[in-house]
Chain A
Amino acid sequence: MRIFSLVTRIIQQLRRDRRTLALFFLAPLLILTLMYFIFGTEASELKIVVTGSDQPTVASLKQADFQVKAAEDFSRKKMIATDTDGWLHVEHGKMELTLLNDEPSRAKAVQMQLMLGLEGHASKIPSIDSHYVYGHADTKGFDTFSPMLVSFFVFFFVFLIAGIALLKERTSGTLERLLATPIKRYEIVAGYVIGYGSFALVQTIIVVLYAVNVLDIVLVGSLWLVLVTNILVALVALSLGTLLSSFATSEFQMVQFIPLVIVPQVFFTGIFPLDGMADWLQKIGKIMPLYYASDAMNGIMYKGFSFADVYVDLIVLVAFSAVFITINIISLKRYRAL
């Protein structure tokens, strides 16, 4: 199989380029860690106080991942004084939750843990009234945009590294030499997709496992779905990177695509609230692959969406890469008519 000869060659080449490999696998972890500390997430255990509850509720909450105390009476003032993250008041089957929300991510975590804890216990989840001591329900934090960061890293590094690799192949003449052999154009593109795709897969696994296990970023949905999403992101990045590399004549020109192609996409990933944007601005976001990737990632990791909730995003990503890959195969005609 010619495709696999190509894949083997790409893996051999990249394995020997230690520095690029380190960049590919370790830089995302470094940046993610930095952002984690800059934006801060739950560093200490969550504290919650329950009043007026029946014993089973308290018991089931104790199994969840926070410190639970039952009290006779409690107040907002006491919450602030004791730095308590949540106060759950249960009366006649109704639940009232007051969140300190000094850090949005902690408030979100309390809500999430609470839901998880109650799910196991009650046959039906009672309605919960939420109040906030600080801020409001829409306050965003690191947790809400960290899922998109994972996709962003995959996109950024795959775009750059695969794009530069094909550029090198063009400028060094090896692409032309390759096309003087009976290899088919689609085999070249497929070799690139599989070769760099496998590195992207490893990168995604490392980044996601690090984010979830070391940085404790919430992952409510399925890890598999996260991987699938990021493989699609890698595909889009790879096919777009290799495509744009034909408009660059040097590595430096490839780097010049970063402010043109990558930075604008960041604005539409949810770091900046999309709701407030003008209509036409939101429409621009819809032509950007990372918009869909972030939507899916945020849904899966933060909101616990399942495949059925994010499949539209995934289909759009598949469509993006299908289009780019097709253009790639056709554009190789420049070198050989066959």
Chain B
Amino acid sequence: MKHAIVMEGIAKGFQHKRVIQPLDLTIEKGGIFGLLGPSGCGKTTLIKMIAGLIKPDAGSVTVLGMRVPNEALLMEIGYMAQSDALYAELTGAENLDFFAKLYHLSKKERSERIRYAAEIVGLTNDLNTWVAHYSGGMKRRLSLAIALIQNPEILILDEPTVGIDPRLKRTIWQELERLRDEERKTIVITTHVMDEAERCDELAMLREGAIIASGTPGALKGQYAAESLDDVFLQIGGGR
């Protein structure tokens, strides 16, 4: 089983509006896959269908060889939503602990994973503060930590680094690359920032719900004889 995620003939509409055109998408195991596109192009909709949070109108999604929706799969997918889904009245540690419990982690595993996840996102010293008092960037980081909490095979991160300062952004990317290299995790991220897209192993450019180009960042640039991914996007006519 080489493919982590296989989407076949996926289509989705909201109130008669086609948001995802019928499309196929295959994501390999052990890589960082980037979904690139302007806001409103359907990135979030697409990855929610992978996570099993939206039911496609047509087509099938298979993750780790299991057809979505599947209960066992929920254990293997770490999902970080675009908007921070946190309990403001609880502290960072309590938020992490609550989600850890939902994954049935033992007490020992929980404290280990909470320490690890907090370390990665640089929140170790803020764990006992109420989330209501967190800044936007801190909330983003806590959401990322929650996505990592159960040590899932697949990470699905919706615009994970929005509002995070450049230094921490670099730390997070280093950790994502480490997870890919040492633990063979599959990571799917959405972004509309080109410098992040450059760091992905594989890219799919999305426009109005259709994949307009895909391949490694290098191959895409070569194919369109472009200096940067920005230029690629503009050349295909996907300018915003």
Interface residues of A (CB under 8 A from B): 2, 5, 8-9, 12-13, 16-17, 172-174, 176-183, 335-338
Contacts and interface: CB of A to CB of B under 8 A. Distances in A.
Contact of A173 (B69, B77, B81, B99): B81
B51 A182 contact: no
A180 B90 contact: no
Interface string B57-96: 0000000000001110011010101011111111000100
A181 B85 contact: no
30 contacts: A2-B101, A2-B102, A5-B98, A5-B101, A5-B102, A9-B94, A12-B89, A12-B90, A13-B90, A172-B86, A172-B88, A173-B85, A174-B85, A174-B87, A177-B81, A180-B74, A180-B79, A180-B81, A181-B74, A181-B99, A182-B74, A182-B102, A336-B52, A336-B69, A337-B52, A337-B55, A337-B69, A338-B52, A338-B70, A338-B71
B85 A9 contact: no
A182 B79 contact: no
A167 to B, nearest CB: 14
A279 to B, nearest CB: 43
B87 A9 contact: yes
B53 interface: yes
Given A9-B87, A177-B99, 20 more contacts: A2-B104, A8-B98, A9-B90, A13-B87, A172-B83, A173-B81, A174-B86, A177-B79, A177-B81, A177-B85, A178-B102, A179-B53, A181-B99, A182-B71, A182-B74, A182-B103, A183-B102, A337-B69, A338-B70, A338-B74
Could you tell me the dominant secondary structure of chain B's interface residues? loop
Given A174-B86, A181-B74, A9 B52 contact: no
Given A182-B74, A336-B69, A337-B69, A173 B84 contact: yes
A17 B132 CA distance: 12
A193 B87 CA distance: 19
Contacts of B146: 177
Contacts of A338: 52, 69-71, 74
Interface of B: 51-53, 55, 69-71, 74-75, 77, 79, 81, 83-90, 94, 98-99, 101-104, 130, 146
A318 B18 CA distance: 43
Contacts of B83: 172-173
B185 to A, nearest CB: 17
Contacts of B71: 182, 338
B81 A9 contact: no
Given A16-B89, A173-B81, A337-B52, A181 B69 contact: no
Contacts of A176: 53, 81, 85
Nearest to A173: B85
B52 A12 contact: no
A177 B79 CA distance: 8
